[in-house]
Structure 1
Amino acid sequence: MSKLQLSFGCWDYDRISALTDGTVKPEGIELNWLNMPVEETFWRMMRHHEFDVAELSFSSYLIARDRGFPNFSAIPVFMSRSFRHSGIYINKHSGIKEPADLIGKRIGIPEYQLSACVWIRGILHHEYGVSPSSVFWYTGGQEKAGRIEKIKLELPPEINIQPINEDQTLNEMLESGEIDAFIAPRAPSCFLNGSPNVTRLFTDFVSEEEQYFRKTGIFPIMHVVAIKNEILEKNPWVAANLYQAFVKSKQKVYEGFNQTAALKVTLPWLVSEIERTKEIMGEDFWPYGLENNKATLEAFVTYSYEQGLIKNKLKVEDLFVKSTQEEYVI
């Protein structure tokens, strides 16, 4: 019997390399991997539903579920995760020294609904008392003018938000001081190029992020893996089989990290970093599955609800295909 042919839009993470090189094969499935930057994958999947299986913004997926028109369903495989204290940049002349100083300031964001921005706003609100309604938000292109929201938003009136001019970029505005701060998943080029006007809010962001994890147990999730509903309706077994394959592929990465005779990754202190990460986060420091991530998932739903992106505080159990939540697939 021939295998089911599925297109798979995703960036080239180490955690899928065993799947893409054929070391791990999902039972009954042949994946046609299409390697693309995450922004392209998200746009093409959200706007045109081009792929059978795709990496997808957690925020975009959650909004689609809330509005009741998803054409795809997620499995609890998290392609991208990242602590986000490092993603807050400030103009040095803005008078911002600590998080509370952001209140009343002008903050640039590429899109309000970006998962990274949802996390940063939630962290600022819950950990530092800076509510989303206490600042002025400016949206637009980071390095190239003209970016718009992927999804039309219906935000509460207390959120002060407006697009920048079509010929402006947030990077230039941060550099010049037209905005006081900037939050995003990607560092602005003015910071990367060593601008004397721009720095991070948290210069020792690693310590802040470690403290946040020790306090909350939350390792922020950015991207899920989504499968077209029409695929699942015809082949309901696909979700669990793909989930199992993703778990096995990630395990290959862990096994490579445990080989210390030669470094698998081009980092000189890789062994030390892995040991330190395990000490803080445990052996499975990049967990898949619903139960292992419930606190993180519930926090994101809460943040999205509080920030006006979703109208209903969805149950995390309703966000993922049921067959991937059962014990035997772990």
Structure 2
Amino acid sequence: MRLRTLLGDHPCTKSLKDGSLKSDLVTFDFADYSPTNKGFKPMVREAAFDVSEMAIVTYLMARSFGKPMVLLPSVVLARFQHGYALYNAKSGTMTPADLNGKRVGIRSFTTTTGAWLRGILANDYGVDLDSIDWVTFEDAHVAEFRDTTKRAPAGKEIIQMLIDGELDAVLGEKSELPGLKPLFPDAGSEEKSWFAKHGVTPINHMVVVSEELAQNHPEAVREVFRLLRESAARAPAASPRFSADEMGRSLEMIIRYAVQQGLIPRAFSVDELFDDLTRTLT
């Protein structure tokens, strides 16, 4: 069975993408999107793929609007987030508490990195997210979501706006340009402290399958999950490996953050994110 597939180039997907891991049941026809997140909108809006990498916040939003996708318990990208926040040092030193009332840029208000960072800023540093003047550059992957943020002028680039003083800080970006400083000067230390407090590794991307595939070809879905697991097992130890409990804790936290930020109307249980087939996969 040939499956239209969107998967990025990650250590845990390498054996699938380079063809060294094969199956007698399914063949992957890989779509070429760079960066991979450019393919999330076609998946959500047009059901463009049978198997797709998917930002977890995009999936939560799609789930809230009844999009025909089902989550697999397969993580392909997870990382700590503190290092993805910058400010312009020309205005002096900035700390998280200084963000209140400031102009903060983010590629889209609905990015998963943005949701994690806003949740961290609000819940661990007391930042008033509603006081911030949010400036965005792209709409949400989910067309039905009503984005009330201010859109940057056409042609403007997020880092250049920060350099030019049109933004006070940005989320979801890294840069080595002079004058731009990390909001968390020792991100590694902050991340260790945050993990010690919460016991959560933030999930960015998981894998979904179309509802049609899950309902009509369960054997193909089981095989896709098996192959993803095998490919991850062949990857370096640095690749994301989550027990069911670890995955559950991370999903519970991002669900809570997404509700707090108005990205989804209610909190799903972790169990609700899967269907009768995919919640049995281990």
TM-score using structure 2 length: 0.91
Q: Percent identity?
A: 28
Q: Deviations over 1:238-286 (max 9, x none)?
A: 33322222111111114xx5xxxxxxxxxxxxxxxx6xxxxxxxxxx72
Corresponding residue for 1:296?
250
Distance 1:231 1:113 in 2: 27
Is 2:226 the partner of 1:244?
yes
Corresponding residue for 1:305?
259
Preserved contact between residue 113 and residue 309 of structure 1 (Cα < 8 Å): yes
TM superposition shift of 1:44:
2.3
TM-score using structure 1 length: 0.79
Preserved contact between residue 77 and residue 246 of structure 1 (Cα < 8 Å): yes
Preserved contact between residue 52 and residue 231 of structure 1 (Cα < 8 Å): yes
Preserved contact between residue 106 and residue 134 of structure 2 (Cα < 8 Å): yes
The structure, 1 or 2, with the larger RCO (C-alpha pairs under 8 Å, 6+ apart) is 2
Secondary structure of the 1:11 match is: coil
TM superposition shift of 1:289:
5.7
Distance 1:175 1:212 in 2: 29
Preserved contact between residue 6 and residue 53 of structure 2 (Cα < 8 Å): yes
Distance 1:130 1:49 in 2: 37
Task: Find the structure with the greater CA-based Rg.
Answer: 1
Secondary structure of the 1:233 match is: helix
2:64 to 58, 61, 66: 66
Preserved contact between residue 175 and residue 195 of structure 1 (Cα < 8 Å): no
Corresponding residue for 2:55?
57
Q: How many residues align?
A: 280
Preserved contact between residue 10 and residue 41 of structure 1 (Cα < 8 Å): no
Letter paired with 2:54: L
Preserved contact between residue 53 and residue 206 of structure 2 (Cα < 8 Å): yes
Between stretches 55-64 and 31-40, larger displacement belongs to: 31-40
Preserved contact between residue 60 and residue 113 of structure 1 (Cα < 8 Å): yes
TM superposition shift of 1:45:
1.4
Does the C-alpha gap of structure 1 residues 174 and 148 become closer, same or farther in structure 2, counting only changes over 3 Å? Answer: same
Does the C-alpha gap of structure 1 residues 51 and 100 become closer, same or farther in structure 2, counting only changes over 3 Å? Answer: same
Letter paired with 2:48: E
1:87 to 79, 84, 88: 84
Preserved contact between residue 27 and residue 241 of structure 1 (Cα < 8 Å): no
Corresponding residue for 1:270?
none
Letter paired with 1:58: I
Distance 2:276 2:126 in 1: 36
Q: Deviations over 1:182-206 (max 9, x none)?
A: 001x42xxx33x232x111112111
Distance 1:238 1:108 in 2: 41
Secondary structure of the 1:253 match is: coil
Corresponding residue for 1:174?
162
TM superposition shift of 1:288:
4.0
Secondary structure of the 2:278 match is: helix
Distance 1:148 1:166 in 2: 13
Secondary structure of the 2:181 match is: strand
RMSD: 2.0
1:199 to 155, 159, 181: 181
